[in-house]
Amino acid sequence: MNTPTQIPPSRPLRIALTGATGYVGGRLAPRLATAGHHVHCLVRSKQKLEARHWSEKPNVTVGEIDLHDVDNLVESMQGCDVAYYLIHSMQSSRDYAREDDLLARNFAQAAEQAGVKRIIYLGGLGETGDGLSKHLTSRREVEASLESTSVPVTTLRAAMIIGSGSASFEILRYLVERLPVMVTPKWVSTESQPISIIDVLFYLEACLRCPESEGKIIDIGGSSVLTYRELMKVMARALGLRKRFVIPVPFLTPRLSSYWIHFVTPVSARIARPLAEGLSNRVVCRDDAARRMFDHEPLDPREAIKRAIQHESTNEVMTSWMDAGRVPGDPDWSGGKVYMDRRTIEVNADCQSIYEAIRIIGGGHGYYAADWLWKIRGFMDKMLGGPGLRRGRRDQRELAFGDALDFWRVLHADPGSRLALYAEMKLPGTATLEFDIEPPETPEAKPTLVQVARFRPRGLIGLLYWNAIKPLHGIVFTGMINGIRREAELHAEDRSSNSEAHHA
């Protein structure tokens, strides 16, 4: 057994953090930096991390590393007190178990050579012994590989992590949201002890202040044990859905389950299969050592689920979902997949002329192209009880925040730069239409108009709706952006002619 090398908990530490662009690491990094520690993020691509706002903190540095290169790792971890290992190859490698074991051994060797005093690892819960899934077995092998040197390792074992962006949580969320009747494998009766991402982050950071946790394997979980069937019911209530019917059958294999998950959710079959296999294992804490060691009461899974979906849209203009954004580290399908139709075009006109062409859309002017399609959509909306196109607009040229515009509501109206509309038509989801004007970077360049239609489906009907209307986007949205360009350029010519006449 490794002999703990204690680190004074009172001073700021220099921390090597892997997985900083991932789900857990992307949330842990700013937390550690805010606590005053120097966070050295070990990533494959600096550019990817630059998109995170917290990467600009003065006590955050970035090092590009290759986990296959031990010498590179040693150099990157020089001077670090603690190293967090938050790496998983499940998305990037088909033989993820072999790859994970290799990378963990490299990391442990490099940490030892660099003089790192401690490794902290987030692994997976699961009953010990035979019958453990390949996924959870791989987690155990990584533990052993990290412990293969003299550097003390703290392993936190967790079951499903409840939070937007966690693959297991998102699979559960999508299945419940999109399927009123679910035919499932028999694992729905398996017990689990899911834990909130809030508590996971607490434990990961608290290890730094708890020397007693060095060299220990600690099970962490929420305050209650639930079956997956019970979790589905909790999720349905939290999402405000009607009762979901769960029908377990014995012949659904993990492979078939993964294909079904791939079809119904945005999570790929490659990720879904090992997770589906792991659901057959009981994942419950063996003791309450974590609560005693850290004096912490974790959230109940019901409260954790409620908090995890609170960032969802309230469908109010003042709290538009398109402005909320994801927490750094969440994949693009977290919190509800948002589908997008994005088109850009250079315009030979000034920014104000482009905005003038944008802000007259709708009402009696129409939408520059395929107005007959817009009229059909308006008629359908009216038949369904929506506003249709009958509201028109308050003013034929001016738009302001909160104005009604046919079946839209104005979210943003920034003259010369941006117009954003929120759809109030009857839809199986939520939609926006946005126009952004990007000024030219040089005097010789032209402004760029960016037109984006976004749709977040609600349930399986929403998914089918998006795919049904997608073929029409080429007619509607291509025609619209080209029409705006033509109108803006005519407007700019008129302004130029008027200016020349005035000076003459």
Question: Is residue 297 situated within a structural domain?
Answer: no
Residue 23, domain CATH? 3.40.50.720
Question: Is residue 255 situated within a structural domain?
Answer: no
Q: What is the pLDDT of residue 270?
A: 66
Q: What share of the chain is helix, strand, coil (3-state, %, to 5)?
A: 40, 20, 40
Question: Is residue 119 situated within a structural domain?
Answer: yes
Picking from 105, 123, 151, the residue at the C-terminal end of a domain is: 151
- The answer, as to whether pTM is greater than 0.75, is no
Question: Is residue 399 situated within a structural domain?
Answer: yes
Of all residues in the chain, the percent with pLDDT exceeding 90 is 36
Picking from 151, 169, 201, the residue at the C-terminal end of a domain is: 151
Q: Where are the beta strands (DSSP E) in 32-187?
A: 38-43, 60-64, 82-85, 118-124, 153-158, 161-162, 181-184
Dihedral, CA atoms, 491, 493, 498, 504, nearest 10 degrees? 170
Residue 417, domain CATH? 3.30.530.20
**What is the CA 6 to chain-centroid distance, rounded?**
36
Q: What is the pLDDT of residue 82?
A: 96
Question: Is residue 479 situated within a structural domain?
Answer: yes
Q: What is the 3-state secondary structure (H, E, C) of 400-465?
A: CCCCEECCEEEEEEECCCEEEEEECCCCCEEEEEEEEEECCCCCCCCCEEEEEEEEEECHHHHHHH
Find, among 259, 289, 264, 263, the residue nearest to 276 by Cα: 259
State pLDDT tens for residues 415-433. Answer: 889 999 988 888 888 899 9
Question: Is residue 20 situated within a structural domain?
Answer: yes
Place of tokens 């009907």: 461
Question: Is residue 110 situated within a structural domain?
Answer: yes
Q: What is the pLDDT of residue 254?
A: 63
Question: Is residue 397 situated within a structural domain?
Answer: yes
Count CB neighbours of 81 within 10 A: 20
Mark the ranges of the chain whose per-residue pLDDT is less than 70. Answer: 1-10, 51, 89-94, 126-132, 251-255, 264-274, 277-279, 311-337, 390-391, 496-504
278 neighbors 228 (Cβ within 8 angstroms)? no
**Number of domains within the chain:** 2
Reported residue count of the chain is 504
330 three-state secondary structure:
coil
216 neighbors 155 (Cβ within 8 angstroms)? yes
DSSP 299: P
Give phi and psi for 28, each to the nearest 5: -70, -40
Domain hosting residue 370, numbered range = 338-503
Picking from 104, 130, 151, the residue at the C-terminal end of a domain is: 151
